[in-house]
Amino acid sequence: MDIFDKCEEYTLTRELRANNIYSYFRKISSPQDPVVTMDGEKIVMLGSNNYLGLTNHPEVKAAATDAVAKYGTGCAGSRLLNGTLDVHVELEEKIADFMNADAVLSFSTGYHVNVGAISCLLGRHDVAYLDNLNHASIIDGVRLGFGKSFKFKHNDMADLEAKLQRADDRRSKTIIVDGVFSMEGDLCDLPKIVELKEKYGTRLMVDDAHGLGVFGANGRGTAEHFGLEGEVDLTMGTFSKSLATVGGFISGPKQVIEFMRHNARSQIFSAAMPPPMAAAVIKALEIVQREPERRTQLWDTTHYMMAELKNLGFDTGSTDSPVIPIVVGDEVTTFTMVKRLQEEGIFVNAIVPPAVPPSEAMIRTSFMATHTRDHLDQALTALAKVGRELDVI
């Protein structure tokens, strides 16, 4: 048997293209603004994680440009060796200050954070308890760590407790959850998780990629939203959503971050974050802190769209965030709906298994502080038309 045989047997994308409903790797030729350009057409963007609308902010772009002039385009090495610049140190200090954390370690991507941080902590005698809808990077980090893992039903605290009750007391335990689940848009039950953490003596890590900048009075994320910042041992965040560029970080106790700095393989064996990206994050963080009205506008938009989509008859699941799913069920109908919406001038994302459970294929919409009511109403008109056309509503 040839190792390439599986590639020949993978026919899904060929079938989607043959039916003219393939909807991945679509080419955009403009910034990630509320309206983007695709094949010369203006399309309302409802598929971006640019929650605060900062990816095209002139100050953020100027900070990146200035950093290119000062440092060049890259570091030509890992942080461990030659790749640590003063801008990386400044970034980590500012993130630590913002998060009220002892220490922070930054990585080149958010995926790198979870793969590196989790795998270097989770040894053969350790156990991780995972929500079964956790992000793939968490799952991969656990696999690389050689520890044992147990998945509990999504946000089912009784199932989590039942698994904790059966734990081997000789093993170190940690609970790892998304703060905001990236496809469904709902929040973890952090108050109950913290209660179980204390009861069963575990550690707790929260992946707050989609909570940072969005939740909490100051934008510090899910733990701040619930008033439980001191109860989370490790917080992961990304720079590719609210903070306008690419990369990520983990915050926590100084000695733990120091251990990761020298043992997280995705950090020590990967090139450092390019300096313009680090400078862009510093500027984006400054804007997040000085312009809380962006978060207010984002939530006004979110509440408006939640109400209007439900009024139209769409199933939006149990979302509590600017990620609003439209549950369709059938995969072909989902892909068809994405294609039809683009024809109507609206960009949305098709989410199908294994990213979601079988028979729960969905349209993922997400919103920005910079969407106007005209953008939203244009989208609602198109969604209503296509939803009725395909018998989704």
Choose, from 108, 182, 266, 321, the residue flagged as catalytic: 182
What is the rounded average pLDDT of the residues 270-292? 98
**Distances in whole angstroms, Cα of residue 34 to Cα of each of 46, 272, 344:** 8, 31, 15
- Predicted local confidence at residue 354, as pLDDT: 85
Please determine, for residue 67, whether its predicted confidence score (pLDDT) is greater than 90. Answer: yes
What is the mean pLDDT of the segment spanning 229-238?
Answer: 97
How many C-beta atoms lie closer than 10 Å to residue 293's C-beta? 9
**Under the phi-then-psi rule, with left for phi > 0, alpha for psi from -120 to 50, and beta for the rest, what region is 219?**
left
pLDDT for 169:
83
Mean pLDDT calculated for residue range 274-302 = 98
pLDDT of res. 349: 98
Each domain of the chain, given as residue ranges in start order, spans: 5-56+292-389, 58-290
Q: Does domain 5-56+292-389 have CATH number 3.90.1150.10?
A: yes
The tally of CA atoms less than 13 A away on the side-chain side of residue 279 is 21
Contact between 52 and 242 under an 8 Å Cβ cutoff? The reply is yes
Q: Which of 58, 79, 9 is nearest to 271 (CA)?
A: 79
> Per-residue pLDDT for 356 more than 90?
no
Residue 226 in this model has a pLDDT that exceeds 90: yes
What is the mean predicted confidence (pLDDT) over 94-123? 97
Parallel/antiparallel/unpaired status of strands 35-38 and 41-45: antiparallel
pLDDT band at 348 (very low <50, low <70, confident <90, very high): very high
Mean per-residue pLDDT for 105-125? 97
Q: Which residues contact 152 (CB under 8 A, 6 or more apart)?
A: 129, 130, 131, 132, 159, 160, 163
- DSSP assigned state of 273: P
List C-alpha distances in Å: 150 to 135, 153, 276, 362. Answer: 15, 10, 40, 26
| Sign of the CA dihedral running 222, 225, 228, 229 | positive
Lowest-pLDDT range, 176-180, 343-347, 358-362?
358-362
Tokens representing 155?
A: 């946000």
Q: Which residues contact 230 (CB under 8 A, 6 or more apart)?
A: none
Question: Averaged over 23-49, what is the pLDDT?
Answer: 97
* Residues whose CB falls within 8 Å of the CB of residue 337, separated by 6 or more in sequence, listed in order: 328, 348, 350, 363, 386, 387, 390, 392
Phi, psi of 226 (to 5 degrees): -90, 0
**Mean pLDDT along residues 131-157:** 96
Residue 19's CB is within 10 A of a number of other CB atoms, namely: 12
Domain 58-290 has CATH 3.40.50.920: no
- Please tell me the predicted confidence (pLDDT) of residue 357: 83
Bridge-based pairing of strands 126-131 and 172-178 is: parallel
Task: Give residue 256's pLDDT.
Answer: 98
CB 49 within 8 Å of CB 349 = no
Q: Is 167 helix (H, G, I), strand (E, B) or coil?
A: coil
pLDDT of residue 289: 98
Predicted pLDDT of residue 335: 97
- d(Cα 49, Cα 236) in Å, to the nearest integer? 16
Q: What DSSP string describes 178-243?
A: ESB-TTT-PBP-HHHHHHHHHHHT-EEEEE-TTTTTTSSTTS--HHHHHT-GGG-SEEEEESSSTT
What's the burial of 60, exposed, middle or buried (CB within 10 Å: 0-12/13-18/19+)? buried
HSE-up of residue 385 (Cα within 13 Å, Cβ side): 14
pLDDT beyond 90 at 168: no
What CA–CA distance (Å, rounded) separates 247 from 366? 20
Average pLDDT in the 185-195 region? Answer: 98
Higher pLDDT, 186 or 358: 186
Query: C-alpha distances in angstroms, 324 versus 80, 183, 208, 308, 339?
Result: 40, 8, 17, 12, 19
Residue of 112, 210, 225, 283 with catalytic role:
210
Told to judge if 173 belongs to the known catalytic residues of this protein, a careful annotator would answer: no
Q: Is the pLDDT of residue 359 over 90?
A: no
Is the per-residue pLDDT at 167 higher than 90? no
Annotation marks residue 241 as catalytic: yes
**Above 90 in pLDDT, residue 28?**
yes
Is residue 328 within 8 A of residue 392, CB to CB? The reply is yes
Contact 251, 99 (CB under 8 A): yes
Place of tokens 């080149």: 108
pLDDT band of residue 201 (cuts 50, 70, 90) is: very high
* Number of CB atoms found within 10 A of residue 353's CB: 11
Q: Which of 88, 135, 241, 375 is catalytic?
A: 241
- Indicate yes or no: pTM above 0.85: yes
